[in-house]
Every structure is written in C-alpha cells, then in structure tokens.
Amino acid sequence: MNSSRLFKLLGLIAGIVLLNIAVLSPGLLGVDIVSGSALETASGVTLLVLSLLVVLYGSYILLFKPSPAKSIRKLETQVDYIAELHKYRNVKVLKKDVVLALDQLERIDKKKDTLLNVLSQRFEQTELSYQKFIAVIGSVEKLFYLNIKGILNKLSVFDAEEFSLFTDSHNPGQFSDKLVQQKRNLFNEYFAYVAGYLGANEEILLKLDQLLLEISLLDSTDYKSIEEMPCMREINDLIKQTKLYQQ
C-alpha cells in the first residue's frame, strides 16, 4: 500500500472516531445508547454499525482493491514507466526482459544528465550548437520511451497462464501438436517484439555514449558543423527512419 492510501485510511478512521465522539459524548450531542430512550438507543446503535461498515468498506477499497490501471498512452514521467514495468517483474517468463528494461531506464537518465553537464561546460545555453545537441538528445529520448511503450503494449496483452498451459511438458495430449506449435509460435513473436525493442534501446544508449565521446573530442577534431559529426548523423538517420515508420 502506498503512503497516499495509508493517509486516506487514517483520515477515514479519524473522521469516524470524531463523529462518534461528537454524537455519543455527554458533553456534546449526548446520545445515550444504554439508558436513553428507544429512539436514542436505536440511533446510537445504528451509528456504530454504520461506522463499522464504513471503516470495513473503506479499508477494503484502500488496502485490497487495486488502483485502476493507467492507460499506457497516458504514461508521461519516468516514474510512470517504472511503475508500469514493475507490474510484470514477478512474471517468471518476463522477468529477465523487465529487469533489463528497468535498467535501461536508469541508464538513459544517467547518460542524459552526463551529456547535459558536459554540454553546459562547453557551450553557453544560448549558442546554436548547444541547442542543436539538446534537440537531438530530446528526440532520441522520445524514441527510447516510444520503445518502452512498445514493450508495455506487448506485456499488457501477454497471458502468462496461457503460456504455461501450452508450454508445460506435463500436459501431453490435451491439444493437437499443430495447435500447440501455433501457440508457441505466437508466444515467440511476443518475445521477439520485446527483444527487438530492448535491442533498439541498447543501440540508442550506445549512440549516446558515442555522442558523449565525440563531444569530448570537439577541441581536437575539425568539424565544419555539428551535423557532420558521425554520431550526430547516425542519430539523425535513426530519428528519420522512425518518423517514416510511424507514418
């Protein structure tokens, strides 16, 4: 349970307690459920029962009922992506890929910070060269998260129980060999897509490392323009190819 739900539950309990104190305390409304009139007794007992039901229902909602799934399209921050990936971390057949995706998210954040730090040391933020580098880094970061979103789209429709059903060697003869093979081929397609996205992101991380190296060599290499840097050309080509693919 996250801290937000805990505070909500504590607030609910505190509110119920204060309400009961206000109604049953002799110094306030003073409803007497022991020696009072039949109406007072009924009202007091009803209040206690309703209070218990509210606390129980509120506890269920806040402690046990899962939060509504956030649409993958609405993921915005790195924290959103990490939280979504963590939902699949305990699925045995997906764990290795999910752990790698989480590691990639951590690495791109570090590489981006390093690049921004190096750029701020070499250029003024108002310089055209600085702005070109920032634009390219921003574009490649969007491409990286687009790949993470692609992974999440595949994971969201992957049925781990069905996978186990059709890959469990202890269930011979339940299905035809043709059906089992078709199912396995379909599952392999899922894994291939995920592996493809992970591989693409590893390539992006490599290019950011290469870009960092080339920036560090700017003083000793004579490039007529930023666009002529080998890694910048490769990154720009990658971005263009992705835009064409999305059209």
pTM, two decimals, is 0.64
A 10 A CB-CB count for 169 gives 5
pLDDT of residue 30: 64
Distance from the Cα of residue 152 to its chain's centroid: 9
Q: Report how far residue 190's alpha carbon sits from residue 186's, in angstroms, rounded to the nearest whole number.
A: 7
Quick one: pLDDT band at residue 58, thresholds 50, 70, 90?
confident
Quick one: pLDDT band at residue 87, thresholds 50, 70, 90?
confident
pLDDT of residue 225: 67
Ranges of each domain in the chain: 3-64, 72-246
pLDDT of residue 29: 64
Quick one: pLDDT band at residue 43, thresholds 50, 70, 90?
confident
pLDDT of residue 226: 74
Which runs of E-coded beta strand occur in 69-116?
Answer: none
pLDDT higher for 123 or 61?
123
Q: Of 27-36, 83-92, 182-191, 205-214, where does the model show the most confidence?
A: 205-214
Mind listing the pLDDT tens digit for each residue in 179-212? 767 777 787 888 888 999 999 999 999 999 999 9
pLDDT at 215 exceeding the cut of 70? yes
Cβ atoms of residues 208 and 111 within 8 Å? yes
pLDDT at 51 exceeding the cut of 90? no
For the segment 101-125, the average pLDDT, to the nearest whole number, is 92
Cβ atoms of residues 58 and 12 within 8 Å? yes
Q: Report how far residue 28's alpha carbon sits from residue 241's, in angstroms, rounded to the nearest whole number.
A: 73
Which runs of E-coded beta strand occur in 74-152?
Answer: none
- Residue 222: CB partners within 8 Å, gap ≥ 6? none
For the segment 116-129, the average pLDDT, to the nearest whole number, is 88
Lowest mean pLDDT among 22-26, 100-104, 135-139: 22-26
Quick one: pLDDT band at residue 106, thresholds 50, 70, 90?
very high
pLDDT higher for 83 or 18?
83
pLDDT of residue 13: 83
